[in-house]
Amino acid sequence: MNLKRKIKKIVKLIEDKKGENIIVLDLKGLTWITDYFIITSGDSQIQTKAIAENILTNMKENPISVEGIDDGKWILIDYGEIIIHIFLNETREYYKLEKLWSDAKIAEI
């Protein structure tokens, strides 16, 4: 699956579980860590966990790593060229990841 198609599929899986404020940041040329961040948030830990589980269940490939799923405040799913950040709303506001990476372009989906 090509990268843009994979991003679209992940965004759809987030939308299926009512993920809020979905942003795709294009980090190419800004870091060697990854090419894209997909950032979303939810109103409760139950919702953030549901978003993560929907992605993990429906993506064909296994992630490199998954962090924070037990707590549900900030879940990170690493697919190499795509890293997904699923935040509880107040955790997202506290860390302001979009502001930290403000040099990145917002990718069109």
Q: How many CB atoms lie within 10 A of CB 67?
A: 12
Domain count, the chain: 1
Asked if 108 and 26 count as a contact pair (C-beta separation under 8 A), the reply is: no
| 1: confidence class by pLDDT, cuts 50, 70, 90 | low
**Structural domain that includes position 61:** 3-106
Q: Which position has the token pair 């709303």?
A: 89
pLDDT tens figures, 14-49: 999 999 999 999 999 899 899 999 999 999 999 999
CATH of the domain at 49: 3.30.460.10
Rounded to whole angstroms, what are the CA distances from 60 to 38, 54, 83?
18, 12, 16
pLDDT tens figures, 40-57: 999 999 999 999 999 999
